[in-house]
Copies of this chain bind each other. A is one copy, B any other.
Amino acid sequence: MKRTDFHPIFHPRSIAVIGASSDPVKFGGRMFLSAHNRKSSEQVVYPVNPKVNEINGARAYARIQDIDDDIDFAIITVPASHTLEAVQDCIEKGVKAAEILSAGFAETGRPEDAARETEILDLAKRHGLRIIGPNCFGVYSPDSPLTILPGPDYPKSVGALGVMAQSGGFTSNLSGRILEMGLRINKAVSYGNAGDLHEIDFLSYFGENADVSTVAAYVEGVRDGRRFLELVRNVTREKPVIVWKAGLTDQGGRAVASHTASLGGSNHIWEGFFRQTGAIPAVGIDEMVDLIVGFHCLPDFDARRFSAVGGGGAIVVAAADALEKAGLSVLPFSKETRDAIRAYLPPHGNSVKNPVDMGSPMYVPKTFRPILEAVTASSQVDAVIIEQLVFLFRGDFDEDLAETICQARDNSGKPFILVLPQASTGVKGIDIETSRRKYREWYISRSIPVFDSLERAVTVLGKIIRYNAYRTGRTV
């Protein structure tokens, strides 16, 4: 499938929502209201529902055929038992592509439901109507009216991340977390049972789309393992493909069958897949988010010699441990560097070797600036990892401090990585969490990745280094 084939899906001019409703609790209500709110002046969204005359000020049509306009894309939200009729209507109307949100097909395990899915897909195929789903949450394309369930008010600005997942819930959860951190998405596709368009189509599109720099895929099963492997191997030559392969255990595999009627596959085969393709393995949504942040901020990261900077002995011991376990080094500073740092710290209760223990987590820009200058000036340092505690006595977002760190990065040209632990855990400390999020957004917007813990940071750095070594044919 060529990229242009996707225009009716990702940038439709005209959209019909079959099963539209004014009730935002219903899928048809959420999807119509979301699309209606998102559309630009050149785009049009038609509600289709035989039981009402208008929804939210827009005239409602009994059938899609009644609309006096060409329809590029249909969103089908009616119950499974009515989808055949809806698809027939779309074909009659000459709709180019449709997403079927409705569940109740092959994933139930009942032969009659699987048969209904096959019937609908065969019909659509014979008439050239492309289908996303069934049993999905749809497509989010920022500069179009299309968004995924539950239909939140996602931004209209376009980013460089491609998200693809059979699971609607995963697509929605991952997208929400990424967007809230200030990152932007190019497209996010949930494709459910993968009845027609599937992983090969979406990954091909992301691979060929020069605006997409990173792909994040949650995979339950694949139609054609060999083809998927070859495609991933091709795409990873140019951009990272992060893959969470779910359902690799026996009981996970059974759950996959109930979820999207997919075959989970064996651990053994998928280990080979990761070895052969350069795809970056992730397990769990936290690791997926971490990797997306890491690749977004530091796509070409390949530094091995770190300075670790923290405000407390245990923190920098942990940093030194975590980095070494990942094969990354924290080399002792020269006397010159130590003396330069020492000049800005109290005589005791800190360490100027490397890692640098500032002694207190209350970093003060006036002294932190020259310390970071000394650290980055060291020829032993290719990258700097800083643990910053947002806590009790310094809960407010301090732009001067953030700017100090950012300038040290800019002036040195060396990559910086920030660790901002969730130091506050209670309701009373929620303002500290607000500040932590402000810092995180601020740093990420300046391409400084932020992680919740040293261990998570180092895991991501290791994976980026391995991917870049794979891509450029070097050994790690």
Contacts of A108 in B (CB 8 A): 348
**B430 x A437 contact (CB < 8 A):** yes
Q: With A284-B454, A348-B103, A392-B152 given, is the CB distance from A255 to B355 under 8 Å?
A: yes
Report whether A426 and B246 are in contact in the complex, using a CB–CB cutoff of 8 Å: no
* Residue in A329, A351, A359 whose Cβ sees the most chain B Cβ within 10 Å: A351
Q: Which of A391-450 contact B (CB under 8 A)?
A: 391-393, 421-430, 433-434, 437-438, 440-441
Interface segment out of the listed A88-96, A294-302, A316-324: A316-324
Please measure, in the bound complex, the distance between the C-alpha atom of A329 and the C-alpha atom of B355, giving whole angstroms. 43
Q: Are A173 and B426 in contact (CB under 8 A)?
A: no
Which chain B positions have C-beta within 8 A of A168?
Answer: 312
Of B251, B255, B427, B452, the residue contacting A438 (CB under 8 A) is B427
Q: Which residue of B lies closest to A25 (CB)?
A: B393
Residues of chain B contacted by A332 (CB below 8 angstroms): 254
CB of A453 within 8 A of CB of B103, answer no
Instruction: Give 1 or 0 for each of A306-319: 1 = CB within 8 Å of chain B CB.
Output: 00000111111111
- Answer whether residue A7 sits at the interface, using C-beta atoms and an 8 A cutoff: no
Interface residues on A, range: 35 or more
Contact status of A180 and B429, CB under 8 A, knowing A348-B103, A348-B104, A351-B255: yes
A143→B323 CA distance, assembly (Å): 40
Identify which of residues 74-108 in chain A touch chain B, using a CB-to-CB cut-off of 8 Å: 79-80, 102-104, 108
* Contacting pair A248 B321 (CB below 8 A): yes
Contact flag A425-B452 (CB < 8 Å), given A317-B259, A393-B150: no
- Asked whether A236 is an interface residue with its Cβ less than 8 Å from the other chain, the reply is no
Which of A79, A247, A255 is most buried by chain B, counting CB atoms within 10 A of its CB?
A: A255
Pairwise interchain contact A323-B251, C-beta atoms closer than 8 A: yes
Chain B residue numbers with a CB within 8 Å of A225 are: none
Given contacts A104-B348, A318-B284, contact A426 B437 (CB under 8 A): yes
Q: Mark A128-151, 1 if CB is under 8 A from B, else 0.
A: 000000010000000000000010
Cross-chain contact B453 with A284 (CB below 8 angstroms)? yes
Among candidates B251, B317, B323, B441, residue contacting A427 with C-beta atoms closer than 8 Å: B441
Residue from the set A251, A313, A314, A325 with the largest chain B CB neighbour count within 10 Å: A314
| A464 interface contact, C-beta 8 A | no
The answer to whether A111 has its CB under 8 Å from any CB of chain B is no
**How distant is A224 from chain B, measured CB to nearest CB, in Å?**
21
Chain B, residue nearest A355 (CB) = B255
B-side contacts of A320, CB under 8 Å: 247, 249, 251-252, 254-255
Query: Which B residue's beta carbon lies closest to that of A256?
Result: B317
Q: Which residues of chain B come closer than 8 Å to A422, judged between CB atoms?
A: 177
Give bound CA distance, A312 to B258, whole Å.
11
Q: How far is the CA of A427 from the CA of B425 in the complex (A)?
A: 16
Q: Contact between A392 and B150 (Cβ–Cβ < 8 Å)?
A: yes
Known: A167-B313, A259-B313, A427-B441. A348 touches B251 (CB 8 A): no
- Complexed CA–CA distance, A80 and B150 (Å): 61
How close is A428's CB to chain B, nearest CB, in angstroms? 7
Report if A330 contacts B (CB, 8 A): yes
Interface hits, A221-265 → B, CB 8 Å: 246-252, 254-256, 258-260
Q: From residue A319, how far is it (CB to closest CB) to chain B in Å?
A: 8
Interfacial chain B residues near A115, Cβ < 8 Å: none
Q: A284-B455, A324-B251, A455-B283 are in contact. Are A258 and B173 (CB under 8 A)?
A: no
Q: Contacts A254-B320, A430-B437 known; list 20 others, CB within 8 Å.
A: A79-B348, A104-B349, A169-B311, A169-B361, A180-B425, A220-B317, A246-B321, A247-B320, A251-B321, A251-B329, A252-B320, A255-B313, A255-B317, A255-B321, A255-B351, A259-B314, A259-B316, A259-B317, A259-B351, A286-B455
